[in-house]
Structure 1
Amino acid sequence: MSTFAKVVCCLVLVLGVANGQGLKVGFYERTCPNAEAIVNEVMTTVFKEALSLSGPLLRMHFHDCFVRGCEGSILLNSSTHTAEKDSPPNLSLRGYQVIDRVKAALEKKCPGIVSCADILAIVARDSVVATGGKFYNVETGRRDGNVSSLSETLTNLLPPTANITTLIAGFSAKGLNVIDLVVLSGGHTIGTSHCSSFSNRLYNFTGKNDADPSMDPKYVKELKKRCKINDQTTLVEMDPGSDRKFDVDYFTLVTKRRGLFTSDQALLKNTVTSAYLTAQSNNGGSTFGHDFGVSMVKMGRIGVITGSAGQIRKFCYKNN
């Protein structure tokens, strides 16, 4: 082999590794050419019925990827309630039946071909588009894992109470940088949260019956009307007024000290993330749509299973 050929070969190998270890856009082009169209057909119907599921379904992909990688373990059931979906951070997720519905449609047309992990990635993208976000190409080729552990969520999922140091370290551990952190946090532009995820900021924040001083006092007052002490059930919009619209309002709210979570407000504590927040807020989010797609694709490469490893589940909620 010539020196030039060796260099080209090495570059191809390096690019292959960088491109998600075997993932590629159009992975099912030959085996199930209409895979994404089938997913979109189901999701179009679902979102006509319940656009409110867009936020939870987007989060489901994120929560899957941060625990064991993007391999569908979030979807597995456990008779002993010890799976990822049984963990406190995941109890607010909704839409598992939608994933089952998509899987059934794909199995009817292309049995044993499309993984549940890929379904999560495609559905997340369709959730963004359905709420007005920018379309991005999803890399596919993931296979499904066969292990789901509640305990692993507690050490891998970042809590809404995380400070900026914890957030940066947690993202870095998954191969994501500070730009990915602030961009993906922008996913909070759609969806809701239980009061219990942020009530610590409203009541007795420092043990003196006070609220988080980093939060706009008027916003605190508004939230207290919705969330009483120890409220575990009430849902509050993460982006008030446009929680079903994928827009730049989230960044504007955070810059005004109206981020719902400690982890939202923490983005003002770093020069890079703070600068991005301010820039997107001031310019109408001119690059956010594109940036979000880039970071989602990057996140979708975390810990993937490809090739002959893992399995292609027939039903997403149980192993074959």
Structure 2
Amino acid sequence: MDDLIVGGSGHSIGQLHCGAFFERLWDFQGQNITDPSMDPEFAESLKAQCPRDNPLLFKGADSTNATFDAVYYSDLLNQKGLMDSDVALMSDPLGVEYATEAVQDPYSFLFEFGTAMIKMGNIPASDPYGWRKNCAVIEPCN
């Protein structure tokens, strides 16, 4: 489980299409509202960057989107996550505990992330859940 929690921090760097979190921003659970778990000021800022009529615009994955760091977890603890998986992580006590620890000791977090990525890189391609050639398609195992 720890590797999954650590791996989520890959959302610390890069950009997302606004469409990746459009429903949380504009139509949470089909109710034409913003996800109430999202910080209200953050949500308003996102709405200015990701207007309802243009879900193909890009938004930084976290508040330091050009830097891989533990700020991702600080954002999550402050209700400023973008993806549904980010919200799910904060709904689990282990996720909250890890996020808090990562913010308090960012160097340990970086080490743990590296270790988790090495473990993931060692998953054999023959594993039933091994690497995909096309991430959008679940390929049959031969």
**Sequence identity (%):** 35
- The one-letter amino acid of 1:209's match is N
Deviations 1:55-96 (A, max 9, x none): xxxxxxxxxxxxxxxxxxxxxxxxxxxxxxxxxxxxxxxxxx
Q: How many residues align?
A: 126
Counterpart in the other structure of 1:270 = 92
1:194 aligns with 2:27: no
- The one-letter amino acid of 1:186's match is S
| CA distance in structure 1 between the aligned counterparts of 2:109 and 2:67, rounded to whole angstroms | 14
1:217 aligns with 2:40: yes
Deviation at 1:231, TM superposition (A): 2.0
After TM superposition, the score normalised by the length of structure 1 is 0.38
Q: Is the 8 A contact 2:102 2:108 kept in 1?
A: yes
Counterpart in the other structure of 1:114 = none
| CA distance in structure 2 between the aligned counterparts of 1:263 and 1:231, rounded to whole angstroms | 22
Instruction: Rate the CA distance shift 1:208–1:233 in 2: closer, same or farther, 3 A.
Output: closer
Match of 2:80 among 258, 268, 281: 258
Q: Is the 8 A contact 1:196 1:230 kept in 2?
A: no
Deviation at 1:209, TM superposition (A): 1.8
1:229 aligns with 2:89: no
Counterpart in the other structure of 2:133 = none
| CA distance in structure 1 between the aligned counterparts of 2:27 and 2:55, rounded to whole angstroms | 17
Q: Is the 8 A contact 2:22 2:55 kept in 1?
A: no
Map 1:1-320; keep pairs closer than 5 Å. 178-240=1-63, 242-281=64-103, 283-304=104-125
- The one-letter amino acid of 2:85's match is S
Counterpart in the other structure of 1:121 = none
- The one-letter amino acid of 2:34's match is A
Q: Is the 8 A contact 1:190 1:244 kept in 2?
A: yes
Secondary structure of residue in 1 paired with 2:16: strand
- The one-letter amino acid of 1:260's match is L
| CA distance in structure 2 between the aligned counterparts of 1:292 and 1:206, rounded to whole angstroms | 33
Deviation at 1:303, TM superposition (A): 3.3
**Structure 1 residue ranges without an equivalent (≥5):** 1-177, 306-320
| CA distance in structure 2 between the aligned counterparts of 1:214 and 1:275, rounded to whole angstroms | 18
Deviation at 1:227, TM superposition (A): 0.8
- The one-letter amino acid of 2:102's match is Q
Q: Is the 8 A contact 2:23 2:29 kept in 1?
A: no
Deviations 1:166-200 (A, max 9, x none): xxxxxxxxxxxx21111111111110000000010
**Structure 2 residue ranges without an equivalent (≥5):** 127-142
Deviations 1:220-242 (A, max 9, x none): 100000111242321100112x2
Deviations 1:268-298 (A, max 9, x none): 11121210001111x1413111101111011
| CA distance in structure 1 between the aligned counterparts of 2:31 and 2:9, rounded to whole angstroms | 32
Counterpart in the other structure of 1:18 = none
Deviations 1:136-190 (A, max 9, x none): xxxxxxxxxxxxxxxxxxxxxxxxxxxxxxxxxxxxxxxxxx2111111111111
Secondary structure of residue in 2 paired with 1:210: coil
RMSD, aligned α-carbons: 1.4
Secondary structure of residue in 2 paired with 1:287: helix
Secondary structure of residue in 1 paired with 2:59: strand
Bigger Rg over Cα? 1
Runs of 4+ in 1 over 6 A off after TM superposition: none
